[in-house]
Structure 1
Amino acid sequence: MQYIKIKETIAEQIEQGMLAAGQKLPSERQLAETFTTTRVTLREALSLLETEGLIFREDRRGWFIAPPRIDFPLSTAEDFLVLAEKQARQASLSVIRVQNTLANKQVSGLLQLGPFAEVHAVEMLRYLEKRPVCFVRYWVHAEKNTAVDVDTPEELFAWLRQRELLKNIHISDSVTVSCLTGETAVMLHAATGTPAIVIERKVYSGEQPVAAEIAIWRHDTLTVTSDTVC
């Protein structure tokens, strides 16, 4: 089929380095003319490349070559900034919201809380090479909170480490595949329906969860890894 041949041609140029990470592809109209095809057929090829994480689309800006993925190990107490630095990537954070609030049904379930429990809630964006790649929320019991400077964003494990709450903990992660919608898609500069990887983590002290985090990643930006010791 023609869209398969188009996909393979673009993929080969990416693999050979003819198209560099972050480079913008020609417009869909130009690509359709180059391959002597229709926009519909071209979009099928681009969708396959997006699914494989070779290219990404920014809403109203077009298609770009995806940079290398970051390795994200499960069940380890390392934050995004630390992981990115170890992998020689340029990473940053921006805070969206920090507040103490009543736990909703979802958070109460994650942290095993009763009615009217208060949590410290943080929302932020993670960036790789100045590109927004992940929207993250985390929650901890509000009674463990101290004053936080919202101009100095703290990731979950940095927050816990500063308050000496990382002793004798263990981490439980779950990974699901989803898609970006609504405000999350807008914040990540993505079109609605763009594939996403959702990582839900719980931090336990004994049998009691002390913190929880949900991170929604653009699917082309990370590789989830797990080391199992037998």
Structure 2
Amino acid sequence: MNGALLNPSRPSFVAESLPQGGWRASVPHYLRIRDQLVTDLAEGVLPSDSKLPAERELAERFGCTRVTLRQALQLLETDGLIYRQNRRGWYVSPPRIRYDPTGIIGFMEYVAAQGRVPRTECLHAERRPAGAWLAKRMGLEHPEEPVFYLQRRRWVDQRPVLLECNVLLVDWCPELLTTDLNTSLTRLLRERFGRVQSRSELLMHPETMNDVQAELLQVSPGSGSFYLERLSYGEHGQSVEFDQEFWRPDSLAVVLGTQHPEAVRRP
């Protein structure tokens, strides 16, 4: 496999630091299995998104128990080199999507720009009162203020990678539910309603998926997720949209640009 097909991952310090002879045999068997599978991936034995052999076959190949094998597989999963489809087995991870959450470009655009195939699936859409919690979070005057509530699943190639909940003020885009929501919301707001966001506030942290989220993203319940929360403001500084994103953490690499203030002041 071309190196570009492998996700960025932590280096195998065990493999890189081992002497050529001597105490190699003292390395735990699961680490030697992990290093051999990393080599297989790097040499193209298994291409991106292909299924690994069954655990029984791999255990026979390496002369180990399935418990030992799973230790190795879990290390590869942690490094983002393989992923598990619930009840379907292990697969070679495709390249991570590079994601800048501070950008104004939408999912459909930045995924396509990386040579991948994005897809949006609207699971639910309705108009309803904001409620007390959301009214407080968005700084709305009344809990009864009407909002559009959307639940959507986003795909990259053939894999679901993201669940998102979007809440938008009805007054900001009143005909939203009459449009096709299986597409870029950023582009839809701009082209159909002439709406753009002036700024956003972000919150990010790791979370654990509940049963519903895990089923929709085709992973095991209790799997980790990367959670992102975004409160966006409209042209006149009013809060207009609140988003929650639940990502498969093995599917993305968060990339943020920085600039030193001294560099900005230089002529």
- TM-score normalised to the size of structure 1? 0.92
Alignment partner, residue 25 of structure 1: 52
Structure 1 stretches lacking a partner, 5+ long: none
Aligned residue identity for 1:135:
L
- Pick from 120, 127, 140: which aligns with 2:148? 120
Alpha-carbon contact 2:100-2:256 (below 8 Å) kept:
yes
Q: Which is strand-richer, 1 or 2? A: 1
Alignment partner, residue 15 of structure 1: 42
- Residues 1:151 and 1:74: Cα distance change in structure 2 (over 3 Å): closer
Larger deviation, residues 191-200 vs 83-92: 191-200
Alignment partner, residue 233 of structure 2: 204
- What aligned pairs does 1:1-230 form with structure 2 within 5 A after superposition? 1-113=28-140, 114-144=142-172, 145-149=174-178, 151-161=180-190, 162-166=192-196, 169-205=198-234, 207-229=237-259, 230=261
Q: For 2:179 and 2:132, how far apart are their aligned partners in 1?
A: 25
Q: For 2:84 and 2:126, how far apart are their aligned partners in 1?
A: 32
Shift of 1:173: 2.0
Structure 2 stretches lacking a partner, 5+ long: 1-27, 262-267
- Residues 1:43 and 1:208: Cα distance change in structure 2 (over 3 Å): same
Alpha-carbon contact 1:177-1:198 (below 8 Å) kept:
yes
What SS does the corresponding residue of 2:222 show, helix, strand or coil?
coil
- TM-score normalised to the size of structure 2? 0.80
**Bigger Rg over Cα:** 2
Pairwise CA RMSD of aligned residues?
1.8
- Residues 1:198 and 1:147: Cα distance change in structure 2 (over 3 Å): closer
* % identity of equivalent residues: 29
Larger deviation, residues 139-148 vs 65-74: 139-148
Q: For 2:208 and 2:255, how far apart are their aligned partners in 1?
A: 21
> How many aligned residue pairs are there?
229
Q: Which is helix-richer, 1 or 2? A: 2
